[in-house]
Each structure stands twice: as C-alpha cells, then as structure tokens.
Structure 1
Amino acid sequence: MKSRLSLLPPGALTAGAVSFTVFAWASAFVSIRSAGSAYSPGALALGRLLTASVVLIALLLIRRVGLPPRGAWRGILISGLVWFCGYTVALNWGERLVDAGTAALLVNTGPILMALLAARLLGEALPPRLLAGMGVSFVGAVVVGLSMSGGGSTSVLGVVLCLLAAVAYATGVVAQKPALSFGTPLQITAYSCLTGAVACLPFAGQLAAEVPEAPLSATLNMVYLGVVPTALAFITWTYALARMPAGKLGSTTYAVPAVVVLLSWVFLGEVPAWLTLIGGVLCLAGVAVARSRPRAAVRAAA
C-alpha cells in the first residue's frame, strides 16, 4: 500500500487529504447534533478527545514515533488548548442552540480569520484569486446558513459560541503551521489532541454520569467523532497543512456547509430548498477559484 501511494503525485495525495478532511468535518456537525441531545458540551468534548487519543496513541506505537522536537511544542500546546479543547466545547454548546447549517456557516468564517492571521503572523501572501475565492465561498456560506436557519432555533448565545469556535479554529491552525516544520503530521495531531483531552479532564465527572444514561446511538456518535473527524481527519489536515499555505487550505473548508446540507438530507431527512442548493454550489465554486492558479504559473510548473 505504501509503495502504491508513493507512485501517486504529491498533489493528488494532498487533494485526497483535503477532500477526506472536508467530508469528515462536515459529518461532525450532524453527529454533534445527534450526540448533543444526550451529552453535555464538556462531556461530549472529553469523550471525543479521549477516543481520538486512544487511536492516535495506537498509531504512534505502531509507527514507533517518539516525542516531537522542542520547537514544535509551542504550536502543539496552543493548538491543543485553543483548537482541540476550546473549539470543541464551544461548538458542542453552540449546536445545542442553533441548527447544524447555521453552525457550519458561522464556523466557516474561520478561514477568513485564518488567512488574515497567516498573512500577519506567518507572512503568507493574499493573492487576488484566494481573496476572490474566499469572497465567493463566503457569499455561498451565507446563503446556505440563511436558507437553513429558517427552520431551526437561533439564539444570540449560540451565534456567539459558534463565532468563538471560528476564532479558536483559525488561531489553532495558524499556531499549528510552524510546528509542522519541526514534527510530523501524526506527532503534531496526536500530542495536540492529548493536550486538549487533558484540558477537558474537569468534565470527567459529567462524562461518567452521562454515559450510563445516554442511548447507544449517542455514544456511537461520540466514538465516531473521536475516530473519524478528530483522529483521522486531523492527520489528513496536518498532512495537507504541511504542504500548502494555511490561508489557501483554510479556504477549502468553505465546502463544508454544502456537504452538511447533503448529509442532513441523507441522514436527517431534511430536504434542502433551492436556495440552499445555490449556496452550496457557490461554496464549491469559491473553493475552485481559491485553489486555481494563473495559466502562466501552470505553464511554468509544467
């Protein structure tokens, strides 16, 4: 399997990693809505991160990967505390107050903050195509959120919590980017997740009390959140982050609301309106614009 993957061009592997991450993170919005009815925000965050930590520790042992270098720990600690812990708790709480589509819209303001922070702190460029793609995708995300929020409950606190999650998301990515120059994606993901799990330990009492009372479907959703959207998707995310600018990678997550619409349609029986479908198309179109390169650059690369 490893030899077959090595035959693929690096661009194809990066695109595959980005695609898997987008679909996995989109599915998380649906799973959080399902598990959030039985688990409190902190308990759900701890259960998700503990599950992910078990998977990641197993991968570390199998791959015989040691501790990250000293230079990576600053980014690991910030990412673990702000992104893995803070983002997860805020999003879990926010999705108890707003519907999944609105939550996806609000959280996906993060890539704008991410691109701006990366330009300010990491010196990354803001090319016109990236800005144009972000603008188109943001309009699409607004259309998706507005079209879906009509049937759900929206509160000011829920909106604020989702916006805080977006800030935590952007901050965590920008902090994680320099760490990847010292450690591998698996190392950065595993130890960031472990940091987040330790930070969520004050919720251990709630988790222990809620597990026996929760239905099996909610617990399975919590386990799924830990294995797929956290353990596996964060590895593919850091793999892609190590190979492309943070701002450009962040713009690809604007496709998440469109995927949330599709998954909500399939698993929750929510039939999207035509306005929602238009917004989803705009999200994907913006991602395509942001990831495209001028013809002259393509010819030079060829």
Structure 2
Amino acid sequence: MHCTSKNPELARKLADDIAKALAGRKSMASLSFYDRPTATRCTFDPDKQYDSASVVKTIILGALLYQKGGTLTEAEDALARKMITVSDNDAATALWRRLSDLKDPKKPDPVKIQAFLDKAGMRETVPDKEGSWGLTQVTADDQAKLLRLLSGDDNSVLGAEARSYALGLMRQVQSDQRWGATAGAPADAVIQVKNGWLQRSKNPDVPEFDKGDWKVNSMAVLAGKGYDSGLVVLTENNRVPEGRPTEDGMNYGVETIEAISRAIYRDVYPGMEAYNPSGPAPAAAKPSAQPPVAG
C-alpha cells in the first residue's frame, strides 16, 4: 500500500486503514485513489490488469466523444445513455463496433478506442481484439487517469462539454448499480459512478484460474461543495462457495470494494454523513446533463 498527501498523518492513516479493510479478504484487489484538495493519492497494485467487465463502458464513452469531437447524434446519445445509466450490453456492443475496423466483422478491431487510449495516456489498457469488450484488460491506475481526465479542466483530449456530459451520465446511473466505490462517500457530494461485474464461464477455453470466478469492479468521482476525488477498485478471485447461490461471488467482491471505499472516505472526510448505496440515491445524484447532441 502506498499513500502520499500534503498531510503525512492522513497518508499514514489511509495506508493502515486500507490494509485493515483488505485483511482476511480472499479477493485479489487493486486500487487507485486521488483527492485533489488534500493532494492525497493512494495506490495498491495499480498496474495489475483485470478483466474490465462493464467499467470499460466509460472508455467506450470517452472514445466515442473523442472521435466525434464531443458532439453526438441523437442515436449515439441514446446508445450512450443506455450503456452508462443502465449498463446496457447491446448498446455497448453497438458503440464498440462503430469505433472498430470491421474488415473482419467477426473480430471488430477497436482502432478508434485505441486512438483514445493513446491520447489519454492509458498505456496499460488492452482492448479485446475478439470483440468481447468485457474482457478488455484494464488497470486501476489507467481507470483513475480516465476519472482525472473527466473531472479535470484539461481540454486536450475532451472538451468541457464532453467531460460534463460523461459525468452527467455517471450521475444518472440507476440506484441498484450505485454500489461499490460510492460506499461511505459524503452524502452531500455529487456522486458519479460506473460499475462492472462478470462471472467467467467454465468452458474449456477459459484459463483455469478464471473458471467460474467473479470479476467485480467499481469507479466513482465525487464533486460539488469542494469535493474533487476519484476512486477505482478492481477485484477478482471472488469465488462462489460450494453449494451457495452464484451471486455470492459477486456479493463478496462488492463487500471487498465497499470495505476499502468506506475506510478511505472515513479518513479523508471525517465526521461527514456517509452515503449508503443500499439506500436511496442522494439528491445530488439526480441532476441530468444536457447532452452535446447534433442532428
């Protein structure tokens, strides 16, 4: 665990408390956290690659906005909204293909997604070349780079309207998908989130480690009222115990992420009322963004 801050005591406490949150957990986890006001950063195994599951949808959205200069058609806006706010897989597939070279339709090569990754400096992210976007390899550090890009003021990759649009969709993610890196966040913050979850099959072509394993990932940005932070937690080795329901593996991963998330926010924002993702979404999470739409 590595934490730095302009407040050395905070850095030490974060490192200790994150380590305690991970102690005894069977999940393999990586994380990257930043808080701009306190110049705080924490990482743990941030360059390890994980199956992305649906957190790759934030990359697809970024690539779409980058390729279109931040201006979407009504059809693209509709697909983007479904992809982020309800995590619609068909919408993600449609946009992935639009951003791909389709010389071989069975293996869409996501060249326009790669162009965005190159521009954003996300060098450790590897899009799946077989068209299975959920198996894109992502790292906590690269996903945190994306959060910093979306929440910052640098126009060199995406303009202000495009960034606002992307975060606006993440604010509108439906309530039952707001778990994970939101847990314990200050309840008065504007909370923007995208999660991903995937259980690998037990097919013969799946690597032995991955068979039946749940990949559970979460990323969140806090804004408003002086908040300016981002957290990414990626997990795997979330196994389903013998004789238990399959969702137990996913729930285990969620619990690991939320233990880390609560420890971080408790230290960085002590004494604040905490957001509980199992409860109703906070009022600040409901505003909608006006999309940059073209006819």
**Is TM-score (shorter-chain normalized) higher than 0.5?**
no
What's the TM-score, normalizing by structure 2? Answer: 0.31
Give the number of the structure whose residues are more often helix, by fraction.
1
Structure with greater strand percent = 2
